[in-house]
């Protein structure tokens, strides 16, 4: 088991290029299985979750060639099913293979997928949508889904704006017979990028970027070439790290069109980023002070479906608030276990009151000290890395494969910016 050893107190400064969007890469890889022609993806991050999904599709005969951040996928032949149980249980994103394999093989048996342990992550929305499109579903130890007569378009309302359920439904509808209208669809940037990739492959999708998508099914999709946008979650993580350590940073290719709400909420806790063309500049002198709401009321940062503040940045916001002057309420509405990681921050000296599984009051500024801690999930792992960079003394972070799942060679890239971090 590898760990990070971090000596806190060093500002990170310089220039770094944002990695491709992890949450766009996974559905893009799945979408490549909808055609027997070659799909070329650029700016693909070399991270644990992407590697796991490629391992799964390689096991069923899909050809994969990954050079640098360019990924070539050819699914002309899908030889063997069912999917590898052990591999699927490692990765929540394995559920994205349902729609492509239904089209290619008319049936799929899927073990319940794994992923971060941040609370209940239901599959009901996926299954209800696929059932409405004509799939036959049996639930036992895993899920068996069949579409022997193909799928048929329909009007359907998702019972929650689930990102992966929306992506699965889109991939099912683009090759279904007739038209489908998806109401209450998720519209996060990675959903938009999936739609644009499918459009390049010949799909007919209207309403991209909204919560109502209209899709007219086509008979076949073709190969395509597509470039993923930046991972705005990594951009926000790097902004936080530079601001809290007192460094000056330029983040290149930051996909600024996805940053306005994030930057607005970060300004409320004294973190500032400036959009410069396609880049994001983090200035050296930061306010690092909580801005009270009107009439002096303590502010709240809460997550919401896009274009609201992303749930995956809640952990980062908690750490940022410990290093700014003033008090703040964090309200994590989506996952009932995401905030439990604050115990590690309290161990490091943070002043945090965990009110209930969804709400925490953070009282800053809290000097942090080094500690031996473990990463419970991808985003909390990055939050603890940021806390360790701000802390006095040495910290050891265990279970760093969780961080590697979402951040490409983060230790090497941060060392190039002045961080004192080693992988042991």
Hey, what are 54's tokens?
A: 């490629």
Distance CA 177, CA 157 (A): 18
Instruction: Identify the active-site residue in 49, 69, 116, 231.
Output: 116
First to last CA, the chain: 9
163 touches 192 (CB < 8 A): no
Q: Smallest Cα–Cα separation from 368: which of 352, 346, 342, 348?
A: 348
Distance CA 414, CA 420 (A): 8
Distance CA 167, CA 170 (A): 5
Edge-to-edge strand list for the sheet holding 224-227: 63-67, 70-74, 38-42, 224-227
* Type and span of the H or E element at 215: strand 212-216
Residue partners of 185: CB distance under 8 A and separation at least 6: 158, 161, 166, 169, 170, 191, 207, 210, 211, 212, 213
| Other CB atoms within 10 Å distance of the CB of residue 295 | 5
Our CA angle for 130, 61, 68, nearest 5°, is: 100
19 touches 45 (CB < 8 A): yes
The yes-or-no answer on residue 116 being catalytic is yes
Distance CA 407, CA 46 (A): 8
Residue partners of 57: CB distance under 8 A and separation at least 6: 29, 33, 64, 73, 75, 97
- Strand 326-331 relative to strand 300-302, pairing: parallel
> CA dist 325 to 90, 233, 320, Å?
40, 24, 10
By annotation, the residues acting in catalysis are 116
């Amino acid at each position: 088991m590898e760990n990070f050893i971090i000596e806190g107190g060093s500002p990170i400064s310089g220039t770094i290029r944002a990695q491709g969007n992890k949450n766009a890469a996974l559905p893009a890889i799945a979408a490549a299985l909808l055609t027997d022609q070659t799909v070329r993806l650029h700016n693909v991050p070399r991270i644990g979750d992407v590697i796991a999904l490629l391992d799964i599709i390689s096991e069923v005969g899909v050809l994969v060639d990954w050079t640098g951040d360019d990924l070539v996928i050819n699914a002309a032949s899908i030889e063997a099913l069912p999917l590898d149980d052990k591999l699927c249980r490692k990765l929540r994103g394995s559920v994205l293979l349902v729609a492509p394999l239904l089209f290619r093989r008319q049936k799929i048996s899927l073990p319940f997928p794994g992923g971060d342990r941040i609370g209940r992550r239901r599959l009901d929305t996926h299954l209800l949508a696929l059932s409405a499109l004509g799939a036959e579903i049996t639930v036992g130890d895993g899920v068996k889904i069949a579409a022997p007569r193909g799928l048929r378009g329909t009007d359907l309302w998702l019972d929650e704006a689930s990102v992966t359920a929306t992506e699965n439904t889109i991939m099912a509808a683009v090759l279904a017979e007739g038209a489908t209208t998806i109401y209450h669809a998720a519209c996060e940037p990675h959903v938009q990028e999936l739609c644009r990739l499918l459009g390049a492959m010949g799909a007919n999708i209207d309403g991209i970027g909204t919560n109502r998508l209209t899709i007219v099914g086509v008979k076949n999709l073709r190969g395509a070439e597509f470039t993923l946008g930046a991972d705005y979650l990594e951009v926000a993580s790097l902004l936080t790290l530079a601001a809290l350590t007192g460094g000056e940073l330029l983040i290149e290719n930051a996909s600024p069109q996805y940053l306005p709400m994030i930057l607005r909420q970060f300004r409320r806790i004294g973190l500032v980023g400036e959009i410069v063309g396609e880049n994001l500049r983090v200035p050296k002198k930061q306010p690092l002070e909580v801005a009270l709401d009107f009439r002096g009321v303590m502010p709240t940062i809460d997550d919401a479906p896009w274009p609201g503040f992303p749930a995956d940045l809640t952990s980062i916001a908690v750490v940022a608030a410990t290093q700014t002057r003033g008090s703040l309420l964090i309200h994590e509405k989506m996952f009932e276990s995401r905030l439990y990681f604050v115990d590690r921050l309290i161990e490091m000296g943070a002043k945090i009151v965990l009110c209930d599984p969804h709400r925490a009051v953070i009282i800053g500024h809290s000097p942090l000290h080094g500690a031996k801690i473990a990463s419970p999930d991808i985003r909390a792992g990055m939050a603890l890395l940021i806390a360790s960079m701000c802390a006095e003394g040495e910290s050891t972070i265990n279970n760093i494969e969780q961080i590697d799942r979402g951040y490409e060679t983060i230790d090497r890239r941060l060392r190039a910016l002045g961080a004192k971090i080693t992988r042991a």
